[in-house]
Structure 1
C-alpha cells in the first residue's frame, strides 16, 4: 500500500527528543522515497491549528477499504504524529472536537511514551516506523472519553486521568524552576524524582465516591485515583497490570492514604509488581464509571494538568483507529 505521510512533529517534546526522532524518520522517508509533507509545531496549541488546517483543506481522508482511490493504488494521506503522549492527546482531542474520524499513526518521541507501551508499538523510532508501513489497515484501539460536569469539560484520553498523587506530581514538576534548568542538560527526570519525593510527604488523603455498574464505593482517604486505558503511567510504571488497550473497558485504581513507611513498602511492591495484593489497592473495571471528589485536588489527563478543583467526572470508552501492525 502506498502512503503520502503528513508528519506533525513536536520538536520540543521529551526535552528535544522529538526533534531527534523527527530527523530519523525524515531520513527514512527520503531513503525509501516515500511521499511526505512536514508540519512543525512552534508553540503550545499549534498542534490544534495544524489539524484544523488539514481538516479544512480536506488533506486527510477517513479510512474506507472500499475507496476506489485505494484500489487504484493512489497514495493514502496518513497523518503521522511525532512527539510525546501529550502531543498525540492534543491531536486526537482536536479531531474529536472537529467531529472527524481519521486514522492516525504515531512515532513516540516523548519522555514517558506510555501509550506506545500500552498498545505494543515499539519505542524505537525506526521499528515503530516499519510497524506503520507494514500495516495494510488501521487497528482499532480503545481510548477513554470523559465528561466533567462541574467545569463542563469533555475530552479524549489515550493513557489515564489521575486525581490526587500523580496529578500533584505532574503539577509540581511542570511548575518547577529546576525542570527548566535540568531540561537543558537532558536531566528533566531528576526534577520528576524530586517532585515525587516532595508530594509523597505533602499529599493528604481525600474523600471520593466511585460509582461502578450502579454500585457506589466510598473512600474516606484516597491517595491516588487513576482511571486508565492500559497498564502504564509515569513512564512505564504498571499501575494496572490487568488493563488492556484493545479491550472495550475502563480500569480504575484507587490507593488509600497510609503511613509513610507503608507507602515506601507499597512502592517496593509496585516495583516487584505485587502491589495488587495490597489491601490498600482497589481495582474496578467497567465500560462506564463515575468519580466524585468534593474536596479540591489536582487532576491530570495524559500528563496535562487540569488544575486543582473538585471533580464530578464520568468515563466511557471510545474507539480510535491507530495505523500500525502490532508485533
Structure 2
C-alpha cells in the first residue's frame, strides 16, 4: 500500500479514449494508494515541472502517456534526492520503454501493477544535463524522428516510425565525423551515420539487435553505424535479417559502456527518447539502479 500517489497525464496527447483510460486507471489504482492526486499538463515542459515539484512529496508517480511524456517525467524526478516509484500507464504511439520492462500496454492492466506487481530498480542514462530512459542518439536516429509525418502517426501508429526510418535511410542520411573517448580512456574516431546509446530494447516498437535484455546491467549499449552498414540497417528495419553478433558486421560496432564523451565537428541534434536538443560535445554516463519502476511479478 502506498500512502501518497500522483497521476500525471498530457491533456493534449493520446486518443479519444483518454478519459475512459484515466477512469479505468484510477479505479485500478485507488485500492492500493491511500491518497491519489490527478494532475494534467497543458504545455510542453509541464510534466517535468509537475514531476519535480510534486514528486518529492509522493511515494509513487503514475505517468500516463507515451515515451515523450515519460521522458519529461524522468527529467523532473531524476534530480530529486528522494525519488518516488514510477508506474507507467502506456498511452502513446510506441510505448517503447514500457515494452522493454514488460509493462502491459493496456492502461488498466498496467495500473493494476500498483497492487499486483513489484518494484524493480532500473538504470538511467544522462547526457550532459539531460536524462533519458530508453535511448539517446545522433545522426540517423534523430533524422528519423524529425521526418515522422504527424498525420501518419495518428492514423498508423508505430508504422509511421518504420516508414520514416526507411525513408530517411534511403534519402537523407548524412555521414558525420566523430571522436569518442570511452570509460577505459580509449579513443575511437571516424565517420558514422548514427551513434546511439541503448537502455531499452526497441525504438518505434522495432526491436534493437544487441540490446540488453533488461535495463539493469549498470551499463548500456553504444552502437555506431557507419555508412557501409546502412544496407544491413535497412534490411533489419524490414525484418529481413536480425544479426546476432556485432563481429559479423564491422560497419556496425557495438560496445558495453558505463560512460564516454562524444565530440562531433559540427553541432548536432541529439535525440533523447524522442526529444531533441543541439550540442557538439556530449558527456554520457549510466546511472545504475537509479529509479524504481513497477513491473509484473513474472
> What is the TM-score with the length of structure 2 in the denominator?
0.84
For 2:185, the equivalent position in structure 1 comes to 214
CA positional deviation for 1:260: 6.4
For 2:40, the equivalent position in structure 1 comes to 40
Equivalent-residue separation in structure 2 for 1:118 and 1:215 (angstroms): 30
Name the SS of the counterpart of 1:44 in structure 2: coil
Q: Deviations over 1:117-160 (max 9, x none)?
A: 22222222233222232246x3111111222xxxxxx1221011
Query: Given the alignment, which residue of 169, 172, 187 partners 1:202?
Result: 172
Name the SS of the counterpart of 1:258 in structure 2: helix
In structure 2, list runs of 5 or more residues that go unmatched: none
Q: Deviations over 1:53-85 (max 9, x none)?
A: 425xx6424xxxxxxxxxxxxxxxx22111112
1:25–1:125 Cα contact (<8 Å) kept: yes
2:181–2:261 Cα contact (<8 Å) kept: yes
CA positional deviation for 1:294: 1.8
User: What RMSD in Å do the two structures reach over aligned CA positions?
Assistant: 3.0
Give yes or no for the alignment of 1:145 onto 2:114.
no
Equivalent-residue separation in structure 1 for 2:49 and 2:232 (angstroms): 47
Equivalent-residue separation in structure 2 for 1:211 and 1:258 (angstroms): 23
1:288–1:317 Cα contact (<8 Å) kept: no
For 2:203, the equivalent position in structure 1 comes to 233
Count residues in correspondence. 294
Query: Given the alignment, which residue of 152, 156, 161 partners 2:131?
Result: 156
Query: Given the alignment, which residue of 257, 261, 270 partners 1:290?
Result: 261
Which range moves more in the overlay, 34-43 or 264-273? 264-273
How do 1:43-192 residues align onto structure 2 when only pairs under 5 Å count? Answer: 43-55=43-55, 59-61=57-59, 78-135=60-117, 138-147=119-128, 154-173=129-148, 178-179=149-150, 181-182=151-152, 186-187=155-156, 189=158, 191-192=160-161
CA positional deviation for 1:2: 5.1
Flag the structure with larger Rg: 1
Give the strand-richer structure, 1 or 2.
2
Name the SS of the counterpart of 2:228 in structure 1: coil
CA positional deviation for 1:170: 0.8
Q: Deviations over 1:242-282 (max 9, x none)?
A: 45302111210111112865653454567535474322111
Name the SS of the counterpart of 1:186 in structure 2: helix
Equivalent-residue separation in structure 2 for 1:51 and 1:142 (angstroms): 19
Residues 279/270 of structure 1: CA separation in 2 closer, same or farther (3 Å cut): farther
CA positional deviation for 1:233: 1.8
Q: Deviations over 1:190-217 (max 9, x none)?
A: 6544533442221121112222222112
Equivalent-residue separation in structure 2 for 1:110 and 1:215 (angstroms): 39
> What is the TM-score with the length of structure 1 in the denominator?
0.77
Which range moves more in the overlay, 266-275 or 230-239? 266-275
